[in-house]
Chains A and B, each alone.
Chain A
Amino acid sequence: MVVKGNAYNLEIYKDNHTWQEGDFQVFRTTQWSAPGCHNGCGVLFYVKDGKVEKIEGDPQNGWNCGTLCMRCLDILESMYDENRLKYPMKRAYEDRGKNKWERITWDEAYDIIEEKVRYIQKNYGNESIIAEIGTGRNVWWQVPWGCFAGLQSPNQTGAFLSGDSCYSPRSSILALMSGEYLTSDMSQMLPDRYESNEWVVPQCITIWGCNPIMSNGDGYLGHWIVEAMKRGSELVMVDPRINWLSAKAKHWLRLRPGTDAALAMAILNVMIKEKLCDYDFIEKWTYGFEDIAKAVEDMSPARASEICWIPEQDIIDAARFMATAKPMAMHWGVAIDQQPSATPAGQALICIAAVTGQIDNPGGSLVTRSAYNISLFSQEGFEDNITDEQKEKRLGMHKYPMRGTGISAMAHTDVVLESIETDGASNDCEQYPIMMQWMQGCNPIANMAAEAPRVYDAICKVPFNVVVDVVMTPTAMACADLLLPAAMGSERDSIRAWWWPLRAISKITDYYEAHGDEQILLDLVNRLNPSAAPGTEVADWVNDLLANHSDADFDFDYLKEKVIVWPEWHYYKHEKGLLRWDGQPGFNTPTGKIELKVDWLEANGLSPVPFYEEPHESPYSTPELYKEYPLVLTTGARSYEYFHSEHRNLPTIRAFHPDPLVEVHSETCKDLGLEEGDWVWIENQRSRCRQRIKYNNGLDKRVVAAEHGWWFPESDPERLFNVFDSNINNLTTQCDIGKSGYGAAYKCLLCKIYKCTEENSVITPTAQVLDKGGFKYERKRLG
């Protein structure tokens, strides 16, 4: 027996949108950025005199079932932080980097934007303007639409995330192999959740390359897995670090970072050699099984053991359990994306889900779409607003053909970077320079940009930059000419579908002149291309989406009153003819089956089956480098406190986690004369940064894990909040990605660590970048 928590008092916690409770008006809604995250949890805002005074988790919301994480519980510090942006501001071009801002009105801001956009469109072409977004923010569908419909440029892109190393690698290979997205089933499609008769508790949950209880990535709430564990699920955990989940796992495979493809192929090797696959499913619903069997023939557990630094028997035992446990749910994360092998690793993982027959079955891997098929996430739907001729000018489309197959119509980040650096000479299409950046909800030099000092040079090189955000960030201080204040989750009307069910985000309060991301983009489109705008208010836009781009038969007012609405869910959709465009059984692929072997890839010069490629900088591929930098570096492990570069400005959160941490085995530290708590320099051939040691004796002694996203909001804005001092992306690199165009080595590099002393800390990384022209090394180029 396990504790399941108490029942909530549903006489107090109602299921409508708003009610009075003492002095408070209570609003029931969904919180999704800003601040944070990938999720949209149900919350109750307690409002007095127009101001939010308290937040609680919404017990009537089947997504988070009343619970909240510490970031939402501390949301008042985010909303009423004294450094929040209150008004639109402009800054003279020559004052970039200086804290010299002039308050202007929204109309003045739009006048400036309109004048600049028209000038650039006329003299350079629409495509010379790029729009950038940050991961997981509630700008994911709005900015692409604003870019296509308003700026009428084909170039919307992730903010310098090298190799598009988040989600796109997985979603693009899933689109090719299965025509769909897959996500693990923790009952989240069913309103009765864990009590539903339709759901089956997974016997095995394979968690690969993520720590879902901290990261909550990809429209998924990680603690659902804990509920399944309470009900008997056992874990296979693939992760280089020990954490709470790997410590609890039945099988923990502690792989060397970046070797996922080899491990997945060895697991397939065992399943196939020992005839543990689901041959009925393979026969009916897959294509290319023989080719897969051949592709993994040479990847024995013994060979993978050497590559991955995992005992051979552990691989065999885990493979047997994954194959025989029914149902088996696969849950995979961003670590797959953040290696040059992203695409082949993804191929191998999808093969595991398919050959075990664990597709769209209760407790398995679900074929997942947005609720009511609302076309928010598939940004390709917004492309009607640009011409075919303009699409031909999207950066990276010609160099990397897989980009046309994915879930998003985005310009390739590394190609964009090189375009800026070469004034368009390196473009894989017509040559044109990048003249303007529209950056919304992103802070690349603090967070997602690999090789941050290089990206700093690039963003400062662009002649005109608009930044939309909630606080002053290092990115805004560095390069913004116009800075527009964005509203937080409770200050905007919006909608949340990613993935299921459909949820309303209701505007219940205001903050000075901050506007919602939707409103800003609507205003932009109404200024620049009014015929494309579905009205002037956000409600007009959402009603247009519901009426014309979804299966829903209700409007925004209805959704706001209900807050959360569950469409009817179907398992085994491939058997019922619910997936294909022609209504026939099968999957949305050319063969109608899950394509274990992808002929399209072969036709486009890529491997149709998974293969193993050693990380580009590793003990085996660069042995000379390894002598100088004898530790394998993985970056970006998540913490409960922070969503990427956010939340460092909140006193209560910060007190829990004041400093950037690098996890190191205590024996490695002992050999290096280091102790827990020491500040160390983490360095490689490109650059260095400093973080504090935290022991983790569950790491391989040859591997260290450093945090990302660190800047210091309490420090001098004109030093860009010291954004480079502890920035692990000083060490990562741009333009060294997988052949598919996907996957950069955020999680598999080399480094050394040594103690920070007064002597070796005279010139900080921030000083090196701002005062001394940056770090000297040869920057990589796309091949």
Chain B
Amino acid sequence: MSANGLDNQKYGLLINYDFCTGCHSCEMACKKEFGLAQDQFGIKVAQYGPVQNSGKKWEFFYMPMLTDLCTLCAPRVAEGKLPTCVHHCQAKVMQYGTIDDLAEQLKVTPKSVLFAPKCC
């Protein structure tokens, strides 16, 4: 894995919200990595539901969103580590990589979003 930007590639996160359980580990890991204040988040989990939509089916999903505080953990990545949210995600629904690679994966991974943060 190469460090952010050093290979002129754009990096991002692919997040499969179908299996995000809303456990807050990404938020807490980020807060502790960067010593963020109580109201600051580098990543924040949004929630939809539980709500009963058409055909009685329940919908209830979480989705982590990256904020402008996110650096994709540049210092960690430079050391060869994963961004701390990716490292600790309990449901392992986050993939770190180049936008090109992740975009390919996105094509075959339903209920996913690809984040390309400004920093990277």
Contact = CB atoms under 8 A, between A and B. Distances in A.
Contact of B19 (A8, A230, A651): A230
B89 interface: yes
B87 A697 contact: no
A697 B93 contact: no
- Identify whether the interface residues of B are mostly helix, strand, loop, or mixed: mixed
A646 to B, nearest CB: 15
B92 A698 contact: no
A73 B108 CA distance: 32
B38 A652 contact: yes
Contacts of B27: 70, 656
Contacts of B10: none
Nearest to A230: B19
A328 B28 CA distance: 35
B78 to A, nearest CB: 12
B109 A2 contact: yes
Contacts of A581: none
Most chain-A CB neighbours within 10 Å: which of B91, B95, B105?
B91
Given A70-B28, A247-B58, A247-B60, A12 B23 contact: no
Contacts of B49: 247
A744 B64 CA distance: 39
Contacts of B25: 67-70, 73
B59 interface: yes
B28 A652 contact: yes
A226 interface: yes
B21 A223 contact: yes
B43 interface: no
Contacts of A54: 32
Contacts of B97: 6
A246 interface: yes
A769 to B, nearest CB: 32
Contact of B79 (A12, A248, A652): A12
A243 B50 CA distance: 7
Interface in A39-67: 54, 56-57, 59, 65-67
A213 interface: yes
A762 interface: no
A464 interface: no
A6 B79 contact: no
Contacts of B62: 244
B89 A9 contact: no
Most chain-B CB neighbours within 10 Å: which of A3, A57, A226?
A3
Contacts of A603: none
B90 interface: yes
Interface string B68-85: 000000000001111010
A3 B22 contact: no
B58 A9 contact: no
Contacts of A605: none
Contacts of B52: 697-698
How many residues of B sit at the interface, in one of the four size bands?
35 or more
A122 interface: no
A247 B81 CA distance: 34
Contact of B28 (A5, A66, A73): A73
Contacts of A69: 23, 25, 90
Nearest to A67: B90
B86 interface: yes
A701 to B, nearest CB: 13
A317 to B, nearest CB: 13
A226 B24 contact: no
Contacts of A2: 16, 18-19, 93, 109
Contact of A3 (B1, B15, B84): B15
Nearest to B96: A6
B108 A1 contact: yes
A655 B31 CA distance: 12
Interface in A1-51: 1-6, 8-9, 11-12
A232 to B, nearest CB: 12
Interface string A239-253: 000111011100010
Contacts of B119: none
B19 A229 contact: yes
Given A11-B80, A73-B25, A73-B29, A242 B88 contact: no
B14 interface: yes
Most chain-B CB neighbours within 10 Å: which of A213, A226, A227, A696?
A226
Nearest to A655: B38
A70 to B, nearest CB: 4
Interface string A692-728: 0000111000000000000000000000000000000
B94 interface: yes
A697 B50 contact: yes
Contacts of A697: 50-52
Contacts of B95: 3-6
Given A6-B82, A244-B60, A698 B96 contact: no
B89 A67 contact: yes
Interface in B8-51: 14-16, 18-19, 21-25, 27-29, 31-32, 38-39, 49-51
Contacts of A578: none
A656 B109 contact: no
Contacts of A248: 60
Contact of B87 (A66, A213, A230, A652): A66
B21 A8 contact: no
Interface string B93-111: 1111100000001001100
A74 B32 contact: yes
Contacts of A244: 21-22, 60, 62
Contacts of B51: 697
A12 B82 CA distance: 11
Interface string A401-444: 00000000000000000000000000000000000000000000
19 contacts: A3-B16, A3-B93, A6-B82, A6-B97, A8-B87, A9-B1, A56-B87, A67-B87, A67-B88, A67-B90, A69-B90, A76-B32, A213-B90, A227-B92, A244-B21, A640-B23, A652-B32, A655-B38, A656-B24
Interface of B: 1, 14-16, 18-19, 21-25, 27-29, 31-32, 38-39, 49-52, 58-60, 62, 79-82, 84, 86-97, 105, 108-109, 112
User: Ordered nearest first, which 6 A-B pairs have the shortest CB separation?
Assistant: A5-B92, A247-B60, A3-B16, A70-B28, A247-B58, A73-B28
Given A252-B58, A697-B50, 9 more contacts: A2-B16, A6-B86, A9-B80, A12-B81, A70-B23, A70-B25, A70-B28, A73-B28, A655-B38
